[in-house]
Structure formats: C-alpha cells, structure tokens
Amino acid sequence: MRRLQRATLLVSTGLLLGGGLGCAESGSDIEDLDRETVFEERLSAAERRGRDVWFENTYGGGTFFQFLAVHPDPSKRIRIAFDEVLNTPRDQRFAQWGLINDPDCEANPAGGPDLCDDPAGTGVLGIRREASGAFGVTCASCHAGLDPLNPPADVNEPTWDNIHPTIGNQYAKFGKIFGHNLAATDVRRLMFNGWRDGTVDTTALFNDNIMNPGVVTAFWDQKHRRTFDIGTGHRELRNGQGGEDDAGGDLATIRVYTNIGVCFFECVAPRPDRPDPNAPIDVAQCRRDCANFPPQQDLDDVGAFLRQVKAPQYPGHPTTLGQAVTYVKGGLTFAVACGNCHSVTGPGRRVYSDAEINPMDAQSTNTCRARTTNWDTGKLWAQFSSDVYKNRGYKGYRTMPLTGIWTTSPFFHNNSVGPYAPADASPAARAAAYEAAMYEMMSASRAPLVQTLPFPVGPFPAGTPLAYVFSRAPATGQLLCDDVVENRGHYYGSDLSASSKAALIYWLKYQ
Ligand code: HEC
Ligand code: HEC
C-alpha cells in the first residue's frame, strides 16, 4: 500500500503544490479545504446542540469523583482538586492549574468560586456542578483550549472567540489537579508530577499499570481523515494515538464518558456477576441499566459538531518569489521524506496521515503509551476496539495528522519534543515554537528526557526512572514498560540539509 502511494507520489506532486500554494481563494478544492474555525452561524441546529453537549454535559459522572474521594481501597482513594481549583482566584487560576476560565462567569469580589448565571457553571470551562452537587467534567474540560488564531488579551479573561473547541488544553496541569490532595508521602504524587502539561493518563484510574500519560490530542478536519473497514461493513476513523478507539465514534464517545465517571456504578464498578474490575464493560448491559446513558441523539449531535471543526490555518501565504520557491521546495522535500506515512496522495492526504499503526522499531517514539492493554481481548475496554485492532499482532502509534501542526508544539503523543508557546502567543510567536519543535524533532541528537525518582521509594533508589517504578503488574511486579527515554524516536528528516529542513518547516506551517 505504502509503496503504491509512493509510486504515484511524484507524478502528483505538481498538483499537490499547485493546490496548496496561493491558498484557498483560487484553488479548485475550496469547499473542502475551507479551514476556518467553527462560527456559530455556520452550524446547523444539530451541530449547535452537539457543541453544547461537548461543552456542558456530564451525565452524572460527578458522583464517580465523589466516590473516588472515599474509595474503600486507600490505594485508589483520591480527591481530585476541584474545590482547590475553583477557590483559586480567577486571575491566578490559569497560572496555577492551566485551566481555562469560563467566559460566562466572573470573579466573586467577596472571594471564593466565581459567579456564574448558569447554575451548573463553576467558573472553569468544562467543570460543571451537577444537580447532586457533585462536580462532573465535560469533553471540553480537556479538549477545549485557547484559539491560536485569536489568542486572549488576558489568559484569565478569555471571550468565547478565544476558545477553540478541540485543540486540546496544552497548558492544563492535569497531574497537579489529580495529585494535589495526596499525602506528601504518597508515591502516586511522584507519578502525577511526571505528567507534562497538557498530558493525562486516561488509564490512571482504570489502570493498565503502565505509566503512560498522553497529550489531549488536537483534532480537526475529521471529514478528511482516512477511514477503515473494521470488519463490520462499516468504515470508521481510527482514534487514539495507538488507534485503539477504532470501532466508531459512538462507541469511542461512550467509552470516554464511562472513563469520566458516567454510569460508573451501573457499568464499570465490580458487582456480583462481574467481580473482576478489569472485566470488559458490557455496552448493551450498560445501556440497559444506566439511566444516565447518553442518548443517541446527543451522540449523533456531538459527532456532527466535531465533523465541522477545521484546522487553524496559519495567516497569510507565501507572496514573494523567494518564498514561493522555498514553499515548493519544502513541499517536495516533505513528499519524499515524510509522505510515505504522512500521505500526500491517496486517502488521508489532506490531513497528511495514512492513519496506519507503525510497529515499534528503532524509529518509534517512547512506546509506553502504545503498550496499553485496556483495549485487548478480555480487558476493560475490549468492546470499544475492533477485531482489526485486537488481531493486528503488534501495537504502535498511529501516524498523526499534520494539518494545523503549527499550533501544537510540543509534539508527539507525550508532548516530549519542542517548547510550549506562551498561552497568549500571537500566531507568529506560536509558529516560532513550532519551528523550534521541528528542528528538535528533525535531529538525531536530542538530549534524552528521562524523569526519575527524586528520593528512594521502596526498593528503588533515587534516580530510578519513573517508568521502572510505575509500570509494573501489581501482583507479580513484572515490568510492563521499560522504555525510559521520553523524547526518543521519529528521527525522520534529521539527515536533510539545513536549507531543506528550513523549506520543509516553512511549507508545513501553511498546511
Ligand atoms: C480527562 C481529559 C479528557 C476528557 C474529559 C475527554 N478527553 Fe478525549 N482525549 C483525552 C486524551 C488524553 C486523548 C488522547 C488519548 C490517547 O490516544 O492517548 C483524547 C483523545 C480523544 C479523541 C481522539 C482524537 C484522535 O485523533 O485520536 C477523541 C475523538 C476524543 N478524545 C473525544 C472525546 C469525547 C467525545 C469526550 C467527552 C465524552 C472526551 N474526549 C473527553 C482526554 C480527554
Ligand atoms: C514511518 C512513518 C513516518 C514517517 C516517515 C514520518 N512520520 Fe511523522 N509521525 C509518525 C507517527 C507514527 C507519529 C506519531 C508519533 C507520536 O505521537 O509519538 C508522527 C508524528 C509526527 C509529528 C508530531 C505530530 C503531533 O501532533 O505531535 C510531526 C510534526 C511529524 N510526525 C512530522 C513528520 C515529518 C516532517 C516527517 C518527515 C521528515 C515525518 N513526520 C515522517 C510517522 C511517520
């Protein structure tokens, strides 16, 4: 398949560059290549509903977080820092927690949580007060971020125009929010401290016993992503950095909802007929027994909304002849050096990804995330992955799409390569972070990033890599991931000349 794409690549390169250069106004693909962000008036009624579900609905998941705070097993007991976050003054909240203030609320002059007209509003985007009084979280709590094309003048007082629904909050200190209330002697604190900003281990509470925090993936241009026949006659997107959630959008959404507490007691908690807490969730049973199960209409509308989100397009376009030459050279360089995976022809070409799963080899990025077992046969999320995933015979990372990549340094599934742009960065300043990340990525001599224990823990001396401590099977102590260098791998392009790298980076910024 790859070889075939490669063969057709050079023939169609002219077309590819012709379509990109000069930007959308005059191209023949305008309709499909429209990459504006989603404006209110452009959305249908269903899409608007879907947006509101994305930002607002928690379906009672908050009772799960309440339960965690009093979990009968002390090793699982954890009080997520909702109160502390909401009681942090609005003008310090972003700096302390990396969370985004809800534009519809304002600081309470008397102190304490913000004032919001919406009774479910809490002051923070995506954290909602449920009827029970519990705090639940919405999809947007992690996925909404600041709009790179329209950054806020003050990060503490964003307007809705400054919010991007799916870029992923690159600044959220999820580890701090999870670990803040743990005792100083609790080793889990060290694990949470190891999560880089913008990353969260979605298998921390539903544990595969691998320390594998992953970035909240930016996603857009879904319409143009490659789909796969998953053996059911349906073609579906591959979601998840390892392509785990590949059995369709509805199932993926339901899984995430159960992961943020929805239907926990009905569907996930151990019970007499399902005593093993890691036994597969039975989706049909869950739908039947859980009154809060998200209605099909909501799933449909969220899906419709998400399909409308377009990649942020870097402002302007090459104008001078010199820029045009660089642009063309960059596109050609990319086609040859990267196009094999980040397809420039064939399915997925508009988002630059064949969405294939790349087996683990010397070029792999840190493999711990891909080693997750939660979607395997017989495991907790088995019903949410396809047989194609289960029978592939290897795990690895999905080739990630690259449209809008100028907005999301640091790179890779674990945010390990490249700098963070300041949250209020102008597009040019944000692109500078992207450029630095690209140079770091296209270099075979990155300084290894290895996080280690600051003091001895049990049998492990200070200096032991965190992966050795936190990626072990509880019963046997068996090491489940020994890959300690977080920023390794994906050295493609490192042997290019300086001028080819510069041209490639220039071209990719506009895609
Ligand atoms: C606690 C933070 C958090 C919340 C809340 C959350 N997500 Fe995510 N989401 C993530 C992370 C982290 C990833 C990357 C997962 C991975 O592959 O490692 C992700 C990935 C995804 C992806 C895959 C994108 C891709 O290209 O692979 C989709 C789609 C998605 N989430 C949808 C949802 C939906 C729908 C909801 C609400 C039901 C939701 N998310 C709520 C953190 C979150
Ligand atoms: C063999 C397949 C393959 C080739 C060739 C390849 N990539 Fe990738 N690329 C991947 C995979 C897989 C990932 C996801 C890695 C991860 O998330 O850990 C990725 C991720 C990236 C990312 C980070 C995306 C993000 O959202 O963080 C960038 C940027 C990128 N590639 C650019 C390039 C460039 C530029 C080239 C050519 C010089 C290239 N790639 C060649 C497979 C490939």
Distance between CA atoms of residues 340 and 225, nearest Å:
16
DSSP 36: P
Distance between CA atoms of residues 124 and 175, nearest Å:
17
**Does 396 have pLDDT greater than 90?**
yes
- Cross-strand pairs, 128: 121, 136
pLDDT at 42: 81
Residues 105 and 116: beta-carbon distance below 8 Å: yes
Task: Provide DSSP, 234-273.
Answer: -EEE-BSTTS-B-S-HHHHHHHHHHHTTTTIIIIIS-BTT
Give the type of residue at 56: E
Q: Which residue has the tokens 């009968």?
A: 72
Please name which of 344, 343, 307, 342 lies closest in space to residue 220, comparing C-alpha atoms. 307
pLDDT at 39: 53
Would you place residue 273 in the very low, low, confident or very high pLDDT band (cuts 50, 70, 90)?
Answer: confident
Q: How far is the CA of 388 from the centre of ligand 2 (A)?
A: 22
Q: Where are the domains of the chain?
A: 1-37+223-449+485-511
pLDDT at 69: 96
Please name which of 151, 144, 499 lies closest in space to residue 330, comparing C-alpha atoms. 499
Task: Report the nearest-CA residue for atom 13 of ligand 2.
Answer: 399
Question: Which structure tokens are listed for 408?
Answer: 């999301």
Distance between CA atoms of residues 305 and 219, nearest Å:
12
| Neighbouring C-beta atoms of residue 193, cutoff 10 Å | 15
In this predicted model, what pLDDT tens digit does every residue of 411-459 receive, in sequence order?
Answer: 999 999 999 999 999 999 999 999 999 999 999 999 999 999 999 999 9
| Neighbouring C-beta atoms of residue 11, cutoff 10 Å | 9
Using alpha carbons, list the distances in angstroms from residue 340 to 67, 337, 441, 444. Answer: 48, 7, 17, 20
| CB of 253 closer than 6 angstroms to any ligand 1 atom | yes
In this predicted model, what pLDDT tens digit does every residue of 149-180 receive, in sequence order?
Answer: 999 999 999 999 999 999 999 999 999 999 99
Would you place residue 271 in the very low, low, confident or very high pLDDT band (cuts 50, 70, 90)?
Answer: confident
Atom of ligand 1 nearest to the CA of 242: 17
The mean predicted confidence, pLDDT, of the chain is: 91
Please name which of 405, 384, 272, 349 lies closest in space to residue 15, comparing C-alpha atoms. 349
Residues 410 and 417: beta-carbon distance below 8 Å: yes
Distance between CA atoms of residues 4 and 7, nearest Å:
5
The angle that helices 498-509 and 427-441 make with each other, rounded to 10 degrees, is: 140
Question: Which structure tokens are listed for 214?
Answer: 């992953």
Residues 329 and 503: beta-carbon distance below 8 Å: yes
Higher pLDDT residue, 217 or 15? Answer: 217
In this predicted model, what pLDDT tens digit does every residue of 245-259 receive, in sequence order?
Answer: 999 999 999 999 999
The angle that helices 321-337 and 498-509 make with each other, rounded to 10 degrees, is: 100
| CB of 351 closer than 6 angstroms to any ligand 1 atom | no
Which of 1-15, 233-247, 269-283, 314-328 is predicted least confidently? 1-15
Please name which of 377, 403, 402 lies closest in space to residue 392, comparing C-alpha atoms. 377
| Neighbouring C-beta atoms of residue 183, cutoff 10 Å | 8
Q: What mean pLDDT comes out for the span 60-68?
A: 96
Residues 403 and 221: beta-carbon distance below 8 Å: yes
Would you place residue 38 in the very low, low, confident or very high pLDDT band (cuts 50, 70, 90)?
Answer: low
pLDDT at 16: 41
DSSP 474: T
| CB of 415 closer than 6 angstroms to any ligand 1 atom | no
Pick from 412, 487, 490, 505 the residue to mutate for probing ligand 2's pocket: most ligand atoms within 8 Å of its CB.
490
Using alpha carbons, list the distances in angstroms from residue 376 to 205, 366, 394, 478. Answer: 17, 20, 11, 18
| CB of 358 closer than 6 angstroms to any ligand 2 atom | yes
Distance between CA atoms of residues 178 and 137, nearest Å:
13
Distance between CA atoms of residues 69 and 81, nearest Å:
10
E strands in 131-176: 135-137, 145-146, 163-164
Q: How far is the CA of 16 from the centre of ligand 1 (A)?
A: 31
In this predicted model, what pLDDT tens digit does every residue of 334-360 receive, in sequence order?
Answer: 999 999 999 999 889 999 999 999 999
Would you place residue 27 in the very low, low, confident or very high pLDDT band (cuts 50, 70, 90)?
Answer: very low
| Neighbouring C-beta atoms of residue 453, cutoff 10 Å | 20
DSSP 221: -
Q: With pLDDT > 70 as the criterion, what percentage of the chain qualifies?
A: 92
| CB of 311 closer than 6 angstroms to any ligand 2 atom | no
**Does 50 have pLDDT greater than 60?**
yes
Radius of gyration from C-alpha coordinates of the chain: 23
In this predicted model, what pLDDT tens digit does every residue of 195-225 receive, in sequence order?
Answer: 999 999 988 778 899 999 999 999 999 999 9
Would you place residue 29 in the very low, low, confident or very high pLDDT band (cuts 50, 70, 90)?
Answer: very low
Would you place residue 115 in the very low, low, confident or very high pLDDT band (cuts 50, 70, 90)?
Answer: very high
pLDDT at 463: 97
Report pTM. Answer: 0.93
Per-residue HEC secondary structure of 427-475 comes to: HHHHHHHHHHHHHHHCCCCCCCCCCECCCCECCECCCCEHHHHHCECCC
Please report which ligand is nearest the Cα atom of 199: 1
Task: Provide DSSP, 313-378.
Answer: PPSS---SHHHHHHHHHHHHHHHHHTTTTS-SSSTTTTTT---PEEEPSTT----TGGG--TTSTT
Please report which ligand is nearest the Cα atom of 58: 1
DSSP 388: H
pLDDT at 236: 96
| CB of 493 closer than 6 angstroms to any ligand 2 atom | yes
* Cα torsion angle, 219, 225, 229, 232, sign: positive
Please report which ligand is nearest the Cα atom of 204: 1
DSSP alpha helix (H) spans, 157-216 = 174-179, 188-193
3-state secondary structure of 508: helix
Residues 489 and 363: beta-carbon distance below 8 Å: yes
Q: Which residues of 400-420 are buried (b: 16+ CB within 10 A; e: fewer)?
A: bbbbbbbbbbbbbbbbbbbeb
Residue 353, CB-side half-sphere exposure with 13 Å CA sphere: 28
Q: Which residue has the tokens 């090793």?
A: 75
DSSP 324: H
Phi-psi region of 366 (alpha: psi -120 to 50; beta: other; left: phi over 0): beta
Q: How far is the CA of 511 from the centre of ligand 1 (A)?
A: 23
Residues shown for the chain = 511
| CB of 355 closer than 6 angstroms to any ligand 1 atom | no
| CB of 216 closer than 6 angstroms to any ligand 1 atom | yes
